[in-house]
Amino acid sequence: MFQQVSDHIAKCVERADAAELRASEAIDEVLRSDHKLMAQYWRDIARSYQFVESLERFLIEIERARNAWSAEARAEQIIRP
């Protein structure tokens, strides 16, 4: 799952870079503005994916810690009847 999200982030950044390049090459001010806005949208989407990825990592770590704690608690119950 992480690789897929990372791929999405990379594609969004590529699209943002391409939009910024088009903005820098645009002669028309309206087009330049539109391309800059599109670049910002792609960067915002990339940040959203980064947030999802970090949240997912956090939840996985919480689950691991909970499982480890549960295993410890079960082991204590076995040792102490």
Domain range for 45: 2-79
pTM, two decimal places: 0.73
Please report which confidence band the pLDDT of residue 68 belongs to, taking 50, 70 and 90 as the band edges. confident
How far are the Cα atoms of 8, 17, 58 from residue 61, in angstroms, in the given order? 22, 33, 5
C-alpha 42/C-alpha 17 separation (Å) is 9
Q: Sorting pLDDT into bands at 50, 70 and 90, what band is 2?
A: low
Record the tokens describing residue 1, joined without a space: 């799952």
Number of domains in the chain: 1
Q: How confident is the model at residue 81 (pLDDT cuts 50, 70, 90)?
A: low
- 3-30: per-residue pLDDT in tens? 677 899 999 999 999 999 999 999 999 9
Distance separating alpha carbons of residues 15 and 11, to the nearest angstrom? 6
